[in-house]
Amino acid sequence: MAEVVEIPRAQTRHAAIAMLALRPRWQSAEALVEFIDTNLRPAGYRLAGVFDNDPEAAVSVIGFREAWSTAWGHHLYVDDMSTIPDARGRGHAEALMRWVVVEAQRLNCEAIHLDSGVGADRAAAHRLYMRNHFDITAHHFTRLLD
Ligand SMILES: CC(C)(COP(=O)(O)OP(=O)(O)OC[C@H]1O[C@@H](n2cnc3c(N)ncnc32)[C@H](O)[C@@H]1OP(=O)(O)O)[C@@H](O)C(=O)NCCC(=O)NCCS
């Protein structure tokens, strides 16, 4: 199984290409890195990745944070999981999922939580989560504001 490494703040850009495959709204690596480092990292967001040939561009990444809530207690929340299209189907996301489970256990979390869209473009992700013993436990509601 591929080696997973944590991507520190100074190397957030190493996660950008893989992350943009999932989050195209940021349009550029620069905008995405600035958002992560300015808004997410200070709130505890972390990144881990799998690298192939390029040591400065992960082919698969996971973004997550340790969190606490009245509903879920102490948990690890996975915000992002993405593999670049050319590197899919090689077990990279599986390696990241196993790594994050170990990290959640190390932090003594009660559970891992995540949201995933319901469209057909998330079918591969849903298979990954079910394979890794995630249950579907909630509906997620969103109200867009003017
Ligand atoms: C979901 C996603 C992260 C999975 O990444 P991945 O690195 O391709 O995942 P894996 O390689 O671990 O598993 C993918 C498939 O390859 C298979 N696979 C894993 N290693 C393999 C190998 N060595 N040989 C053949 N197949 C393999 C897995 O069984 C799995 O099969 P399935 O799709 O039939 O269930 C990726 O498809 C993706 O980025 N999708 C778009 C973004 C997205 O939806 N993110 C989740 C948001 S909630």
CATH class of 5-131: alpha beta
The residue ranges of every structural domain in the chain are: 5-131
Which three-class secondary structure state does DSSP give residue 6? Answer: strand
Residue nearest (by alpha carbon) to ligand 1 atom 22: 90
Write the DSSP string, 63-122: EEEEEEETTTEEEEEEEEEEE-GGGTTSSHHHHHHHHHHHHHHHTT-SEEEE----SGGG
Question: What's the mean pLDDT in 71-99?
Answer: 98
For residue 131, give the DSSP letter: H
Residue nearest (by alpha carbon) to ligand 1 atom 19: 91
CB–CB of 57/51 below 8 Å?
A: yes
Q: Is 124 in the pocket of ligand 1 (CB under 6 A)?
A: yes
Specify the pLDDT at position 145: 98
Residues with Cβ within 8 Å of 112's Cβ and at least 6 positions away in sequence, in order, are 75, 76, 77, 78, 100, 101, 104, 134
Specify the pLDDT at position 138: 96
Work out which ligand 1 atom sits closest to the CA atom of 94.
12
> Rounded distance, CA 122 to CA 62, Å?
15
Which residue is associated with the tokens 């690596």?
A: 29
CB–CB of 63/70 below 8 Å?
A: no
Specify the pLDDT at position 122: 97
Asked if residue 2 has pLDDT above 90, the reply is no
Best of 90, 116, 136 for a ligand 1 pocket test (most atoms within 8 Å of beta carbon): 90
Q: Is 12 in the pocket of ligand 1 (CB under 6 A)?
A: no
Specify the pLDDT at position 1: 84
What would the pLDDT profile of 96-141 be if each residue is shown by its tens digit? Answer: 999 999 999 999 999 999 999 999 999 999 999 999 999 999 999 9
What would the pLDDT profile of 45-77 be if each residue is shown by its tens digit? Answer: 999 999 999 999 999 999 999 999 999 999 999
Best of 59, 83, 127 for a ligand 1 pocket test (most atoms within 8 Å of beta carbon): 83
81 CA → ligand 1 middle, Å: 10
